A and B are shown apart, each in its own frame.
Chain A
Amino acid sequence: EIVLTQFPGTLSLSPGERATLSCRASQTISTSYLAWYQQKPGRAPRLLIYGASSRATGIPDRFSGSGSGTDFTLTISGLEPEDFAVYYCQQYGNSPGTFGQGTKVEIK
């Protein structure tokens, strides 16, 4: 199965700053089937980005995804208070689908 490694584990930033989250795969992800999810405490995950770079319905344009092959990035261009959460990448091009271990974006 494909192993996803996210880094950093924790990102401490202030509102308004730019967040850059990384996700590296142990092998090439087919057709860029890479998604990003946001999870807040006590809530179900929410799809942000699919196909590595397409925003899901209703997701603000401060969220953007990029990358291909084995290296992917989620960028939040200016952190809003509601963006402090845990973010997971997921590959769904190969079965079984797998998640990264998550990156926590916390308020500095």
Chain B
Amino acid sequence: EVQLVQSGVEVKKPGESLKISCKGSGYTFTRYWIGWVRQMPGKGLEWMGIIYPGDSDTRYSPSFQGQVTISADKSLSTAYLQWNSLKASDTAMYYCARDYGWRGFDSWGQGTLVTVSS
């Protein structure tokens, strides 16, 4: 069974750094892209970017380029999303999902809630 398990709830202050994770199991992690999706409170889904763990090829939405960094450690079957300096506007639920290519995002993590508040 394909599973993506994300790290837990985070509460941070503006200006702090953060790295959240998404661990894949039940499939060959290096063969599928992993995507990150933001959902701000009460809002819709936003495609942030994707990474191919096999070679760490990464694509970003222009809206998120330079705001976050997506990375992966294939030895740990884990993808990451990180911020160097959080803002209150980064408060959101963040989902990772397996990108099956022609089948879209077929498996999703449970989400990581990030709250940024002074």
Q: B residues engaging A (CB < 8 A)?
A: 35, 37, 44-47, 49-50, 59-63, 95, 97, 99-100, 102-111
* Count of interface residues, chain A, beta-carbon cutoff 8 Å: 25
A46 CB contact (under 8 Å) in B61, B103, B108: B108
- Assess whether A47 is in contact with B47, with CB atoms less than 8 Å apart: no
A50 CB contact (under 8 Å) in B62, B63, B106: B106
Q: Is the interface of B mostly helix, strand, loop or mixed?
A: strand
Which residues in A have their C-beta under 8 angstroms from that of B104?
33, 35, 47, 50, 90, 92
- Assess whether B108 is in contact with A96, with CB atoms less than 8 Å apart: no
Ordered by A's residue number, 26 sampled pairs between the chains whose C-beta atoms are within 8 Å are: A31-B102, A33-B102, A33-B104, A35-B103, A35-B104, A37-B45, A39-B45, A44-B108, A44-B111, A45-B95, A46-B108, A47-B103, A47-B106, A47-B107, A50-B104, A51-B102, A90-B47, A95-B50, A96-B47, A96-B49, A96-B61, A97-B35, A97-B50, A99-B44, A99-B46, A102-B45
9 smallest CB-CB distances across A and B, nearest first, come from: A35-B104, A96-B61, A44-B108, A99-B45, A97-B47, A50-B104, A50-B103, A102-B44, A101-B44
> A79-98 vs B: 1/0 string, CB under 8 Å?
00000000010101001111
